Amino acid sequence: MHDKPLIVQGDLTLLLETEGPGYLAARDAIAPFTELVKSPEYVHTYRISHLSLWNAAATGRSAEEVLSALSEHSRFPVPATVVREVTQYMGRYGTLQLVREGHDLFLVAKDPLALMEARHVKGAQPWILDQVAPDRCRVDGAFRGHLKLALTLAGLPVEDLAGYTVGDPLSFRLREVSESGKPFALRHYQAEAAEVFHAAGSVKGGAGTIVLPCGAGKTVVAIGAMNLCQCHTLILTTNVVAVRQWMREILDKTTLTADQVGEYTGETKDIRPVTLATYQILTYRRSKEDTFPHFGLFQARKWGLIVYDEVHLLPAPVFRVSAEVQATRRLGLTATLVREDQKEGDVFALIGPKRYDVPWKTLESQGWIATATCTEIRIPQPVARYVEYAQASDREKIRISSENPGKKAVVEELIEAHPDDSILVIGQYLTQLDELAAELDIPLITGKTPQRERERLFGDFRDGRLRVLMVSKVGNFAIDLPDASVMIQISGTFGSRQEEAQRLGRILRPKEDGRQAHFYSLVTRDTREQDFAMHRQLFLVEQGYQYHVEIRESGKG
């Protein structure tokens, strides 16, 4: 076996052999500037993209460091085309900068040719007012975000050094002992992430994304950033359950009081110095022709910081309004920057580049998240469904295979195999969930479950009064269930890598007794569902997880 497992190809794809002593070191070395494309058993394929290079540059990595990592682990010399592309595209980050001088905003170029190229980008032209020197143009400050997005899409990333409004001040401090009576301090990586984002208040910080696994305490990172900023803060998240979990965490770990923290949702619209809102309420409108009535929340106060929870899920209308709030500090939080709609560039331009991340396996090895095993159980298609499956459209093939009735016996078996664990069963298709919940007598939470009932069931599960809970895709995001240690996935959203990561994350919070987490994915053999499952797993494989595959000849055994 060769001791250098990496093959770097001229088209910016990398082949990484998984067998042999050099695999883990090579995987960790290339992870900060690549994306895993596919992961068959023995050779994984990675891709270097312009965006992955710019995010690496934004975290302080240089082209020399990237090329050194490639050379160290590559079996053959790194192709000249790769050297040229890495050098050129990493060199582009910071070549164009937005700077403020007095009341005016300027696009400044270290290379006048880059400025010439920027002026010829059609989508940017409306916002570039006039050229005042060979290296600078005055731009329309009201459309700062639109300009950055247009240039990013054209391959010209802009480093935004124009600074931010201070926002209305808000004085508070972090507790040394939480309201619940437990000692509290930011973990080393949480403090580091908050400080990197804030950058001591300089124009080098203040906008960007922190990438940490679920269970690693991204909420606490945001609280750390709020403490550094000491200003009125707007926090946007995925649902009402998440809003209330954020409120509990803020009140538990800071000296902020209940009358300083407000909820802005479909149920309550209470704007306070710290306000938590859902994306759903912000994107509500009566019809496609109407305006978004709740967008006024962005101007309701002089916010000094906006936090975007699960930023990889940001709806298009919120992206749009975020282009208008570039003078406000913006913090994105996510477990993965992957977006299945390929809109990662929008996050980069409008929220900010990746500022900080830690590999999942690193935090696992340090004990900050639970050790987890991932198992894919492949189940045969019932003979009676073969004809229906063969004649179905591609989309229907996925539904038919996902709703394989043979999964019921495996779910029962897994529940019996984990008698002392708290178990979440999660799926995509409501008919499948309804039937399974009824047959196995398991409480079910879907989007239709009333909020009060939803919170009661989550509370019973959290407190141990309920051992098994079934959830639809509402369980993907921002649910604080610290003792959940087993996840059984019976169906998913096509090939969504972000969903796979979010679901594993639901069980990664460290257990008080140190028990291991188990993630089971039930897949129908030799179907489209199996094909999509391989794509779903890419991000977690990239993070160092391996899926153990069990092939069943029947529903059990």
Establish if 181 belongs to a structural domain.
Answer: no
Q: Which domain holds residue 11?
A: 6-92
Establish if 65 belongs to a structural domain.
Answer: yes
Q: What is the mean pLDDT of each run of 10 residues along the chain (557 residues)?
A: 86 92 90 85 89 92 96 96 95 94 94 93 95 94 95 94 94 93 94 96 93 90 98 94 93 97 93 96 88 91 95 88 93 86 88 90 88 94 86 88 93 96 93 94 92 89 91 73 86 80 83 87 92 85 85 63
Nearest Cα residue to 230 out of 291, 284, 173: 173
Q: Domain total for the chain?
A: 4
Say yes or no: 101 and 85 in one domain: no
Phi, psi at 553, each rounded to 5°? -90, -20
Establish if 265 belongs to a structural domain.
Answer: yes
Distance CA 303, CA 233 (A): 5
Token output for 191: 């403090």
Distance CA 150, CA 146 (A): 6
Burial class of residue 420, CB neighbours in 10 A (0-12, 13-18, 19+): exposed
Burial class of residue 453, CB neighbours in 10 A (0-12, 13-18, 19+): exposed
Say yes or no: 124 and 269 in one domain: no
Distance CA 79, CA 71 (A): 10
How does strand 6-8 pair with strand 13-17?
Answer: antiparallel
Amino acid at 256: L
CATH of the domain at 262: 3.40.50.300
Say yes or no: 335 and 384 in one domain: no
pLDDT at 557: 37
308 forms beta bridges with 236, 332
Say yes or no: 77 and 117 in one domain: no
| Final residue before a domain boundary, out of 303, 335, 358 | 358
Say yes or no: 288 and 323 in one domain: yes
Establish if 166 belongs to a structural domain.
Answer: no
Q: What angle do CA 49, 53, 59 make, to 5 degrees?
A: 145
| Final residue before a domain boundary, out of 92, 113, 133 | 92
Between the alpha carbon of residue 361 and those of residues 29, 39, 69, the distances in Å are 13, 18, 19
Establish if 19 belongs to a structural domain.
Answer: yes
373 forms beta bridges with 518
Concatenate the DSSP letters of all residues of 301-332 into one string: S--SEEEETTGGG--HHHHHHHTT-TTSEEEE
Distance CA 55, CA 92 (A): 12
Distance CA 224, CA 185 (A): 10
Establish if 18 belongs to a structural domain.
Answer: yes
Nearest Cα residue to 262 out of 244, 249, 288: 244
pLDDT at 5: 94
Say yes or no: 39 and 86 in one domain: yes
| Final residue before a domain boundary, out of 118, 141, 160 | 160
Say yes or no: 279 and 396 in one domain: no
Say yes or no: 498 and 519 in one domain: yes
Establish if 177 belongs to a structural domain.
Answer: no
Burial class of residue 204, CB neighbours in 10 A (0-12, 13-18, 19+): middle
Say yes or no: 322 and 384 in one domain: no
Distance CA 454, CA 517 (A): 24
Q: How far is CA 345 from the centre of its chain?
A: 14
Establish if 252 belongs to a structural domain.
Answer: yes
Say yes or no: 372 and 301 in one domain: no
Say yes or no: 348 and 372 in one domain: no
Say yes or no: 193 and 281 in one domain: yes
